[in-house]
Amino acid sequence: MHIWREIALIMPVSFCYLLMTFAIATNYNTPLNLALMALERYIAICKPLHHPNICTVRRTYVILSIMWLISYLSPASDIIITITIEPMSFFSTNIICENDSLIRTYSQSVKRNYLSIIFFAVAWLTMVYTYINIVTVAQSASRSEKSSAKKAYNTVLLHAIQLTLSSLMFLVPIVNNVWLHFQNVELGDVQYYTHILIILFPRLLSPLIYGVREENFRKYLKGYVTCGAITKDQNRQCQRIK
């Protein structure tokens, strides 16, 4: 979506709104997703006997669906407001597609800011609650259970770091203004780099961290990387790894 926006900045309103609705929804469900992952670790460590019954595949799909539905409520309401205040001919015109394209009134901007703060506050409270409880259980656990408890609160700590990085999205306007003040560059270039570093990079961490931490994936990744520069004598061993 970001590459497409860089290539075709001006696009039809209807197509821009379709892209922005999805993009805004992902901004909202990023903290919710991290909070749900922390809750899953809390249940696994603090309520291990109930974990298989609570965290089933079916319930996971239901919860994820609810999370996405909640995330879409704000951009969907923005579209409804736009339909009520703009003529239908507006949707057949072209606009510069950016994050604020859906905002047509001041109240929409206030609503978006408050919802973002609420979502991140809920995520932070969940992180703190789960982390404290997991640490408490780890201190009173037996030696065999301490290892899994330690992994769990390290995982929650990683989620908290990701949430901290994701929270930096609130600082994007400030970073842009400070950057423009000290550097004589185009606004579009500044927005490009801040989008990569502040918006996209935190979302990259989840698949990267969980991919590398997964034992089977790490084993095969190591095998493929090692086999990238080998001699012919080592080729047979690499074929077994693959």
- Tokens at 240, concatenated: 């077994």
pLDDT in tens, 178-208: 777 777 777 777 777 888 887 788 778 777 7
pLDDT in tens, 95-138: 888 777 888 888 888 888 888 888 888 888 988 888 888 888 77
Helix axes 13-46, 57-85, angle to 10 degrees: 150
pTM over 0.85? The answer is no
Q: What domains can you pick out in the chain, each with its CATH number?
A: 2-170 (1.20.1070.10)
What are the backbone dihedrals phi and psi of residue 102, each rounded to the nearest 5 degrees, phi first? Answer: -80, -15
- Tokens at 15, concatenated: 């197509």
pLDDT band at residue 153 using 50, 70 and 90 as cut-offs: confident
